[in-house]
Amino acid sequence: MRSKFSETQFSFGIMREIVDGLVFGYVGVPIFPSLIQEGEHGWDVRFDSSMTAYFLQFKVAEKLTSKNAKEMSAFSGNPYFRFKTYPDYQSKQHELLFSLSKNDRNNVFYCAPAFISIKEFEANFLNKKIAQESFFVNLKDFSDVNNTEQHSICFQLNPISKFMIFSNPKEIKGFVGWNNLRQSVSEQNKRYQSISEFTIETYVLLREHVDIMKYVEYFQEQYSKTLMNKYESSEFWTLIKFMAIVQSLAMLGIFTCFE
């Protein structure tokens, strides 16, 4: 059964939730490529900051229920969803996305809804649950796959969540719902080896005139991992206040180290 709504409808619905901060929290201003640029880069939307970058390629999946469906045996006869990647001779999209994922700073995902009916789409759209009812596949999991060939990416929700890639069957890691994805990305955040390394990244944000207070929770989490988790709350807040004051002076033109 094919999706009753378009990829454009899906991408609009989930983008609304991301921009509202419901998906990844604040991730910056969305960057949309032109049609020509999409062919050159492979992604539909990019969110970039000094801390990390998210790249999403949207897909709509079909739902397979027939016992004769090609991959049905891998899912023990249970209904599953499927979308296909482009082979290299048709489009460089998949290969470009995989190459992008090799950078540790980049989080590159295929993203597709785990529903196909227009009724489900309307309900999820009104309740802002499209991202919660979608699944995400990390391109980092394709390291031992021939990324020039066409592949079918399949997943089931019941009785258990299961994600697989074909033609050469391989189980991969996927996420149903943005909260599971966000938790996984958070766990992969780097641990700083020194106060200076932590401060340098913060300094980059200040140069971009980012409101440092929007990132306090992030900085607090990262700072607590600094120097083998020897976290001093008072020291952290002293550092944050100092950087906020320096930023304010710089924006007023009184302090020029950020120029």
* Alpha-carbon gap, residue 59 to 11, rounded angstroms: 8
**Which residues are CB-contacts of 40 (< 8 A; sequence separation ≥ 6)?**
33, 96
Distance CA 139, CA 142 (A): 6
* Dist CA 213 CA 220 (whole Å): 11
Q: In sequence order, what are the residues at sequence separation of 6 or more whose Cβ sits closer than 8 angstroms to the Cβ of residue 169?
A: 71, 74
Backbone angles phi, psi at 165, to 5 degrees: -120, 140
Q: What is the pTM of this model?
A: 0.69
Bridge-based pairing state of the strands 45-48 and 134-138: unpaired
Q: Hey, how many other C-beta atoms are within 10 angstroms of the C-beta on 102?
A: 11
Give me 12's structure tokens: 């609009």
18 within 8 A of 47, measured Cβ to Cβ: yes
- In the β-sheet with 62-64, what is the strand arrangement from edge to edge? 62-64, 80-84, 152-156, 162-166, 170-172
Q: What is the pLDDT of residue 97?
A: 92
In whole angstroms, give the CA distance from residue 59 to residue 81.
11
In a structure prediction context, what are the per-residue pLDDT tens digits for the chain, which is 259 residues long?
Answer: 899 999 999 999 999 888 876 555 566 678 898 877 777 888 999 987 656 788 999 999 999 999 999 999 999 999 999 999 888 888 888 889 988 988 877 889 999 999 999 999 999 999 999 988 999 998 888 876 776 778 899 999 888 889 998 877 888 888 887 666 666 666 565 555 555 555 555 555 555 545 555 555 555 555 555 544 454 556 656 666 666 655 555 555 543 443 4
Side chain identity at residue 117, one-letter code: S
